[in-house]
Amino acid sequence: MNNSTFYNTYTKTSVPFTEGEAVFITVLLGLFLIVGVFGNTVMMIILYRLKALRSVYDSFVLFLCLADFISSLVSSINLYIRTWGYSQFGLPVFFCKLFWCVDVWTSYVSSFHILSYAIVRFIGVLFPIKCRRIKPVHTRIWIALIWLVTFLCGCIPMAILTGVETKTRFTKAVDATWPVCSQLSKWVPTYIQYTEYTYPIFFYIPMLATAVLSLSIAAMVLKRRRNISQSISDQALKRRIKKENLAFVQLSAIVGVFFVGYIPFTVFVFYATNVNGDTLEEWQRNWWFGTAQYICMRISDCLNPILYSLTSKKILKATAKLFKKRHAVDKS
């Protein structure tokens, strides 16, 4: 169908995708939802049983899993927003606002948890004795502040800026290609300003700082590894280097998956707020770009618990033990 034909037959229920594409995306995001909820639930159970709240490292991983778990749950709403509810949102407006509030909130939480994890890993490698002085109460206060600040800066603004309204398609308006459940037209300029101020604080700066910390840890680990040849009999040093290697691998995996999930997200927001949608091709491009970046975020949520297990012998053993017990109970 060419543009002129589409414009002539366009109605308020028209969408920039086919029914087959909607079914495919529904199945794909549905699978990610199940895997994300299941994987992060298992990881939270394991970390809790391992007394994660007593470990500064595992505490951040535990609450990062909680953020991924919540994000996976509300992804069911976005699945509807991007497919069957794209042009006609049949749910109460509450669910539209709920998705945007929780999605932005958990994204900010994840960003700051990963930065915090990188900071404590850096301290642990550079000042291992001082790192032991970080008590569980300090970690809990730190985590509570992250969730509170990100709630105030992410959830509350989205509750105001988002809602359900009929979009005017094929105009120069920035939101012409957006789903009916998105930022309200009257708030679009405010939303653009909001992203210009908050994304550097909650995404770009944490990403840059995390990358710098990760590279610094890698440099310190490599330097100490070279020193092993000069003190080959120092078993304590060997054990410490081995632990630092595992810590760096885990940090690299967490950071890498976060970048895979959230760099496309931030790029898409920049694109969607700077390109108008006055053609069918632009409408379709916007939908596919937005859908693709959201799939990347869901992949991130699904991979995190797997990577935690594979990069930690302690967690891997606990996971195997948990499923072994479960299998024994099922057989009995």
Residue 261: its pLDDT value, please? 87
Domains recognised in the chain with CATH numbers: 17-326 (1.20.1070.10)
Residue 227: its pLDDT value, please? 65
Residue 326: its pLDDT value, please? 58
Whether 266 and 240 have beta carbons less than 8 Å apart is answered as no
Q: What is the mean pLDDT of residues 26-39?
A: 93
Identify the band that residue 235 occupies on the pLDDT scale cut at 50, 70 and 90.
low
Among 155-169, 207-221, 245-259, whose mean pLDDT is lowest? 245-259
- Give DSSP secondary structure letters for 65-84: HHHHHHHHHHHHHHHHHHTT
Average pLDDT, the chain: 85
Whether 82 and 67 have beta carbons less than 8 Å apart is answered as no
Cα 290 to Cα 269: distance, rounded to the nearest angstrom: 9
Residue 5: its pLDDT value, please? 62
Residue 94: its pLDDT value, please? 96
- Model confidence at 6: pLDDT above 70: no
Among 138-142, 214-218, 264-268, 305-309, whose mean pLDDT is lowest? 305-309
pTM for the predicted model, two decimal places: 0.88
- Model confidence at 310: pLDDT above 90: no
Which of 117-126, 148-157, 292-301, 317-326 is predicted most confidently? Answer: 148-157
Identify the band that residue 1 occupies on the pLDDT scale cut at 50, 70 and 90.
low
Cα 88 to Cα 84: distance, rounded to the nearest angstrom: 8
Structure tokens at 222: 């490599």
Cα 13 to Cα 178: distance, rounded to the nearest angstrom: 13
Residue 241: its pLDDT value, please? 65
Q: What is the mean pLDDT of residues 199-216?
A: 91
Q: What is the mean pLDDT of residues 10-18?
A: 83
